[in-house]
Structure formats: structure tokens, C-alpha cells
Structure 1
């Protein structure tokens, strides 16, 4: 209930003015206080239930905190120098916070943190995380790189969002990244080389995309086919990636009869290694958290603890990063993980047949439950796909864990033993062919969204 109250208040006040969001926080805080006072005066068997009043008090108190956090965020955003320059141009000093991703119109989208706006005597220091749209010279900058450039400040996509930037000049590097940026960048580059040696055709670009979210070598038409088929989520690092990787490690540890505590330690190391290989971007860290919860749900006989852990993740993210908490990506991860916690195991038991191995039933259940749970979010956010998305996801379900586990192993092994990584990458070839084939066939079926590469 507290997590739901925080999320609801965060979403509801995200587009309000700071004064209105503050007023909402005050009203909720007052309601919480009234509920507390009322509960102290309730006698046994008289009036409202004391426990219900306690729940109401806690929910309103958490909602008040979330509304106050949003009011502070919106006020800070409104006071930022970039907001005042919307529609104009300025010089900025930036910190690259994530890897670039290609966009349909050409060029790349780079997550950055603005540290200084303006130049010379007009320079003003104020941090703000935004998205930079760029072309020449911006590809391949590792996270942690500091640059200076001139930008056009674009209108925000919706009220309450920060403005976006469009680079007008090539970046001038003023600070090199630390090891946390250089190491994932080196892993990405080596996996590209390994993929080029081990694979052919579209598979060369698909493997880095599925494993590391590196879409730089995927043809625009192929990317559009995956979108039209409802499979574009496979190119983003999600909680499913961590579940597959850590799950494979747990199965291997169980096969060699490692004890329960030992398996937990090995799983933790594998999770940390996954974050180190892919890169400690916010999306990766969120995926690691939700993936760990999903794995706990699959291995637990009770849903209470994983569900409580998921609620705690939602609560913390909503309070620490309200913009992320209300974003489609995070809502999709939470919806899928909650469905996995609550109904994946019963669904797997219902669809299991004597001729169907248990792991196959589990994989089908996870695919069906996650897709059905996220479909309303996809439709509401405008990311929904055609009527063939569910069959497409079921068709590729056996291939996704194989590519994820073998591909991640190849990425981790590449910097120290490239030949071994090539063997692992080559083993992904049949699964990658199947994924590409399913996307192409489904994208061409009647009712699928049009494929418009550009």
C-alpha cells in the first residue's frame, strides 16, 4: 500500500505546478494526521476499523512525501537555466551518463548530465539529466566523458519533463572517463569484434544488441521489423536478462552440488559481474534489481517476500528519481516482475503436460504472463504493437535465454580470451537466425504496424 500510494502521488503530481503539488502534499499530510487522531479515539467495535485508519494514515503520509518530492523537483526544473533558454541556443558543459543509441531519424540519442550552462561570465552551474540528440562525432563516447558543445534547447515532450538538447557542434572532450566507463566500453568493442568473427549477416549486430543494448550495428529495417513484431524490448537490457544469467549460474551451481549459501554467493557475484559487463547505467541497475526479484519469485514457494521487495524498489525509485518511476520503461519492468511474482508459477503448472519438460513450461509461462501484464502499459504509452506480438514472443521464448546466457558469457570472456568468446558467440547463431526470421515474418503479417525504416 505505501508503494502504491507513493507511485500514485508521484504520477498524479508530475505535471502540476510546484504550488499545487505542495498543496496536495499538505492536504495529504493533514489527512494522515486526522486519521491518526481518529484512530486513537476509536474504541473496540465502535466506528471505523482502527487498522483501516492506520493504513489510510500511512498511505496519505507516504503520498504527502512523494508529492513534496515532486514539488521540489518541478521547482528545481523550472529554475534551471536550460528551462529559461527553451527555443534558444547556448553553450554547455556535459557529462555523458550512458551509451548512445540510434534513432529513427538518423544520428544518436545520448543520455547526458548538464553541469554548466552558458559560457564566460554568463556560465551558470546547475545539474540536470537530459537527452542529447546528435550526429557526427558523438558515437561511442563512454559514460563518464566530459565534453563541451553548443546546443539548441528543445521543448520538453510533456509538462514536467526537462527540455531535450540538439547538438550543433561536435563534442570537445575536456575530461576522460574513469574505469567504470572505460571497462564497459572496452567490453562492447570487443564483443563487436567477436560478433564480426563468429557471425554473419544481421546476427553480427543482433548479438551485441540483445546482450548489451548496443544497437549501433543493426540495420534500420531490421530494427523496424522487431518493433513491428512486438520484439523491440529484446534490444533493451531488462530484468529478464539478469534472471536468465543468474538463473543459469544457479543451475550450474546446483548441478555441481554447491550448498544453498554457496549458490546465493555465486548468484550475487554473477549479478555484480553482469552489471560490470553491461555497464552501471541507471537502466542496468534497475534491471538488476527487478531481475533479482523475479529470480527470487521463481525459486520461492511464497510470493510475499519477492512482492515486498518489489514494492520497496518501487518506493525507493519513486522517491529518489520520480521521472524514472513514472517512465514507461520502469512501469513495464515493474508490471512484468509483479506478474512473474504472482501468477507465473500457477500458469506454468496449468500449462504443463506430460510431454512438456518443466523448463519449457516455465519459459512459456514467463513469456505469456509478462506480455499480458505489460500490454496495457504498452497501449497506454503508445508503444503497443500489432496483434501478432504475443505469438511472436512465444515463438522466440526458447531462443532468448540461450542468446542472453551465451552472449553475456562471450562478452565477459572476450577481453581475456577472444577465441573462446568467438566459440560462444558462434553457438548463438541458430537462435539469432530464429529471432530475425520470426521478426521478419511477423512484421509482414496483416495487421502488423508498417515497417518504415529511416
Structure 2
């Protein structure tokens, strides 16, 4: 605690004696954090509550914002009240009121949707596929869709709702943007805050094909599967598309279960770590070529846009790109306030536009990992660095430990499987993950234009993929590792 802190060597305090150099900008940057936390907390309370409860919470918070703002305006020079603190409190209450009100309106709209009244019944729907399918343990796939029309003929009602379809024949490989019609059974929602689920009773009838935003990523996925099949053997054939693109279709159920038991399931989902590795590699390459700061930033921006184009502009990918960029900014600068303020802005925006997603486990994992990266990765790396340990190794270990510790409470609270060997497993695979992510993403981008070069890049991933599979298998077999329950019937 007594050692010097790294506030940023270029910080200069314009206020002279009253404000230490480099401190005032950080304090200003952090002012967005409290309002964002208030918005998130109010949204979390309103999610799952009745619309009237959310509306009442919004009224209380709005009244508190008015009181705090009025008090702030009326503070005199001799009053011992921090006007700035009252302003932040007023903003926090106002944003909390907005969050509660938005969620109350969404809950009301969900309750009025025609699918809600059809739970347990069968109906026809017209929907647009919004993401790629993912396999389920009981067989078949989960397909995210946006239902736009419920019913058919005279009973058809137009109303949008994002849901998940559990399906088997004919639903695999539908690119995002495909408009389909099908007969479905409406299932009970998992929680009162969730929309109903759908089980497909018929194969989809394609009404309209996808646009370029869906065809492009679908073609990239198909080509990467072909590249992996040519370059790799065994489980590595399915693991490469899974780790790089989140495409789990070629991964066996046994391997997926091993990754879940070992606490490595997050490696098969596109996250902020993917973007950090890819953009970080581009920054290092640009620096090695002698590019200036603007050149490196431009190269990183192009890489980030290219990553989204290759993987697909799904909501999870866009969130990963945002949080990954923030984490990268935290690692590349001594300033903590600005990346944290940017993260707060991302949380604020997502909480307003999609409250259910903002309070979901996936988004909380990304946010908690990125916040830990912003606040603790560099100090931890400095602490664990030793003369015999190179700086990059210390950075990798720090990122792995900090992210795992920060996300562990979310994993436990969400009921996701994790065991006592999860942290050692993540430490063991830490050196291999960036290799697969960077080389695999390059192979995915190169595949459509030069398959031979993509095969070489994919083949270079073989040792790292073997290590991932080996660690997952060993850890899953250790005592104490959780084992997924057998799939139920149907």
C-alpha cells in the first residue's frame, strides 16, 4: 500500500496542489459507474416482477431524483453538502427510474403477446432467424428466432418476440436473417421474466432467404469446417470452429460435457477474450512493423470490424466486441477510469435496450471479467512478475486468474457447472487459447479466398487444440468435477 501507484506518467494536474497529477480525470471518469449500477440494480429488480411493481419502483426513484436535484440546486456556499455527489445521486435515481420503467413496459408487452396465451397449445408462426443454431444434449438444436406473426389466416396476429426454438429435422444450418414459417408447440417459460419457448413440430418452410449479413458468416463457417476437416484429425476437427466461431455442431456430446465439467465451456462461446486476443495480435504486429499510434489504432479497428464480419453480427458477438475492446484498452493504458467508464456505458446501453439480456448470466460474465481486467489485471501482473518470468507470461496468468475469480460468483449464482479444478484447468490452457483464437480466426477469414493458406493456419493449431482437449479430459475425470445430468426424454 505504501509503494508508488501507476497513475499514468503523462498526467499533469492543472489544479496544482489541490489535485494530484492524473487523479482528477480518473475521478470524473468514474462518475458514470454509480448511475450505471443503479440502473442495473433497478432493472434486475424489475425483471421478473409484475409491471405494476416495476412502475411503482420507477415512480419512487424518479421522485428521489427530483428531491436530490432540487437539493443540489439549493445548496449554499456554507452548506457542508457535496453538490457534485448530489448530482450523481440524482442521475443514479433518474437512470434507475428509467430502467425500472422500461422493464415494466417490456413486461407489460410480454404479458400481452399472443404466444403467452397459447402456452401448452400448438400454433403456426412466421419468424426470422436471429442467430446460428447450437446443439443440445438431448439431440437437436436450439435456434434463436424473432417471431413476427403468430397464428395463420384470420387468426394471425403481428407481434414481435425473441424466443428460442427447440428443433431437429431441417433447422440446422439456417443462416441468420432467414424468414421461415412452421408449426410449433408453445412451451412454458423458464422463469416469469422469460418469453415462452417453442418446440418445432414441422421442418421450416423458408419464405425469404437471408441477406448478406447472414450469408457471409454462414459461408465462413462452412468453409472453416471444410478447412478443419482437411487440416486436423479427431476431436480437433470440431474444436477449431467451436473455439473460433462458437460453432459447436462438430463437437461430440462427450467432449462438450468434459469441457463443462472442467470449467472450460466458456472457450466454446465467443466472448470478449476472443476479440482481445485478435485485436491484441494485430496491435503487436502493427507495432513490430513500426506503425505509429494512429496506425495501430486504425489496424485494431479494422481487425475488430473484421472479427464481427467473420463471426457474424449476432448480439452476443457485438457484446463480446464491445467488452473485448474495453479490456484491450485497459491492458494498453495506465488509465483505469476511462475503460471503466466505457464499460459502464456499455452496461447502461444494454440495460436500456435489452433488460433481460443485461441481467442474464452470459452478459454478467462478460462484464465482470472485463471489469476485473480493467481494475486488477495490471496490478496483479506487476505483483506476480519475477526475474525468471517474462512480462507476457505474467500478463497471461494475471488475466486468467483475475477473470476466473471475478466470474466465479456469477457462475455459482447462475447454477453453471464448475468444480474445484476449474482455476487450474484455465491456467493450464491459458497459453494455448490465444494461439487457437488468433490463428483460427485468421484461417476463418482466409478460407473463402485461399483455402490452402487457411489449411496451413488450421494445421498450426493442432498442438494447442490437442492440449485443450487433453486438459479437459484429465480435469473432468478428477474427483470433485461435476458431471452433467443425462439428457431427458425427447
**Given the two structures, how large is their TM-score scaled by the length of structure 2?**
0.91
The CA distance in 1 between the partners of 2:79 and 2:120, in whole Å, is 61
Contact 1:443 1:451 in 2 (8 A): no
Contact 1:221 1:452 in 2 (8 A): no
2:186 paired residue among 133, 142, 153: 153
The CA distance in 2 between the partners of 1:421 and 1:48, in whole Å, is 63
Contact 1:96 1:144 in 2 (8 A): yes
The match for 1:218 is 251
* 1:25-64 alignment, distance < 5 Å: 25-46=58-79, 48-64=81-97
Is residue 66 of structure 1 aligned with residue 99 of structure 2? Answer: yes
Contact 1:224 1:452 in 2 (8 A): no
1:84 deviates by 1.1
The match for 1:282 is 315
- Residues 397-450 of structure 1 show CA distances to partners (whole Å, capped at 9, x for unaligned) of 000000000000000000000010000000000000000000000000000012
The match for 1:8 is 41
The CA distance in 2 between the partners of 1:258 and 1:35, in whole Å, is 49
Is residue 195 of structure 1 aligned with residue 253 of structure 2? Answer: no
The match for 1:241 is 274
- Where 1:127 maps in the other structure, the secondary structure is strand
1:378 deviates by 0.1
RMSD of equivalent CA atoms: 1.0
The match for 1:89 is 122
Q: Which runs of 5+ in 1 are unaligned?
A: none
Contact 1:221 1:451 in 2 (8 A): no
1:117 paired residue among 133, 150, 158: 150
The CA distance in 2 between the partners of 1:219 and 1:319, in whole Å, is 38
1:20 deviates by 1.6
The CA distance in 2 between the partners of 1:36 and 1:313, in whole Å, is 25
The CA distance in 2 between the partners of 1:49 and 1:176, in whole Å, is 59
2:410 paired residue among 377, 385, 409: 377
The match for 1:257 is 290
- Where 2:115 maps in the other structure, the secondary structure is helix
1:302 paired residue among 335, 346, 350: 335
1:13 deviates by 0.6
Is residue 19 of structure 1 aligned with residue 52 of structure 2? Answer: yes
47 and 256 in structure 1: CA distance in 2 versus 1, 3 angstrom threshold: closer
- Residues 41-90 of structure 1 show CA distances to partners (whole Å, capped at 9, x for unaligned) of 33334364333322221111110000110011001111111111111110
Is residue 429 of structure 1 aligned with residue 462 of structure 2? Answer: yes
The CA distance in 1 between the partners of 2:485 and 2:391, in whole Å, is 40
The CA distance in 1 between the partners of 2:258 and 2:404, in whole Å, is 18
- Residues 340-387 of structure 1 show CA distances to partners (whole Å, capped at 9, x for unaligned) of 000000101111111111111101100000000000000000014110
The CA distance in 2 between the partners of 1:445 and 1:45, in whole Å, is 66
The CA distance in 1 between the partners of 2:335 and 2:86, in whole Å, is 28
* 1:262-341 alignment, distance < 5 Å: 262-341=295-374
- Where 1:81 maps in the other structure, the secondary structure is coil
- Residues 218-254 of structure 1 show CA distances to partners (whole Å, capped at 9, x for unaligned) of 0100000000000000000000000000000000000
**Runs (4+) off by over 3 Å:** 44-49, 451-454
The match for 1:208 is 241
The match for 2:208 is 175
- Where 2:206 maps in the other structure, the secondary structure is strand
- Where 1:128 maps in the other structure, the secondary structure is strand
- Where 1:126 maps in the other structure, the secondary structure is strand
- Residues 289-344 of structure 1 show CA distances to partners (whole Å, capped at 9, x for unaligned) of 00000000000111011001000000000001111100100000000000000000
Contact 1:371 1:390 in 2 (8 A): yes
The CA distance in 1 between the partners of 2:418 and 2:476, in whole Å, is 10
- Where 1:430 maps in the other structure, the secondary structure is helix
The CA distance in 2 between the partners of 1:75 and 1:452, in whole Å, is 35
**Given the two structures, how large is their TM-score scaled by the length of structure 1?**
0.99
- Where 2:161 maps in the other structure, the secondary structure is strand
Contact 1:339 1:369 in 2 (8 A): yes
The CA distance in 1 between the partners of 2:160 and 2:391, in whole Å, is 50
The match for 1:367 is 400
The CA distance in 1 between the partners of 2:210 and 2:383, in whole Å, is 51
- Residues 121-174 of structure 1 show CA distances to partners (whole Å, capped at 9, x for unaligned) of 000001111111101111000000010001111111111111111101110111
Contact 2:35 2:89 in 1 (8 A): no
Q: Which runs of 5+ in 2 are unaligned?
A: 1-33
Is residue 388 of structure 1 aligned with residue 421 of structure 2? Answer: yes
Contact 1:220 1:453 in 2 (8 A): no
Is residue 443 of structure 1 aligned with residue 476 of structure 2? Answer: yes
